[in-house]
Amino acid sequence: MRDLTNNINLWNQFNLQEGGNVEAVASQWVDLQGYDSCTFIFQWGTLADAGGASFTPKIEFSVDGVADSGDVPDADLLPTGTGQEAAAAADETDDDTVTQIGYIGKERFVRAALVIAGNSAAADIGCVAVLGHPAVAPAPSTGAPATSK
């Protein structure tokens, strides 16, 4: 068995229940310096609203880690192809599921965001960014950037 713990770094993107009665949620920027891979894991808990609520994730990038520069193009997301955000989306029938979107672009700063439609109740939604393939292992503590020697 190979070690994974010392080769990943976890960044919390948003906590459970941030999806209640809002139209959008955006996380803090993740600094990818020192890492060669990033996957966003979306946790869909209880999605209570039974009226056509939808929760669509998107991945955004920034050139400076401060201002939003736009949505990451489909060519820089995994799985390859198009429609990765739609494939990772959830609605009120997707209780207790997990989806993911990988990032393979060249921008240093990325974050997860959610577009929420038709929801008027609390929704248990969470997201974690998993950074992998660090330049220096073991990877630093959760949420800290990797630095080269």
Question: Where do the domains of the chain lie?
Answer: 5-134
Is the model's pLDDT at 126 over the cut of 70? yes
The pLDDT tens digits of the residues spanning 10-47 come to 998 887 665 556 678 889 999 999 999 999 999 998 88
Strands (E), the chain: 8-14, 24-26, 30-31, 35-47, 54-62, 70-71, 77-78, 90-91, 97-103, 109-117, 123-134
Residue type, 56: T
What predicted TM-score, i.e. pTM, was given to this entire model?
Answer: 0.89
Question: What is the predicted pLDDT for the residue at 149?
Answer: 38
| Region at 106 (left for phi over 0; alpha for psi -120 to 50; beta for the rest) | alpha
Is the model's pLDDT at 89 over the cut of 90? yes
Tokens matching residue 45: 């808990």
Burial zone of 129 (CB within 10 Å; 0-12 exposed, 13-18 middle, 19+ buried): buried
Tokens matching residue 113: 């965001």
Q: Identify which of 58, 84, 82, 55 has the alpha carbon closest to the alpha carbon of residue 71.
A: 58
Q: Supply the CATH classification number for the domain 5-134.
A: 2.60.120.1570
Q: Looking at residues 63-88, what average pLDDT do you find?
A: 92
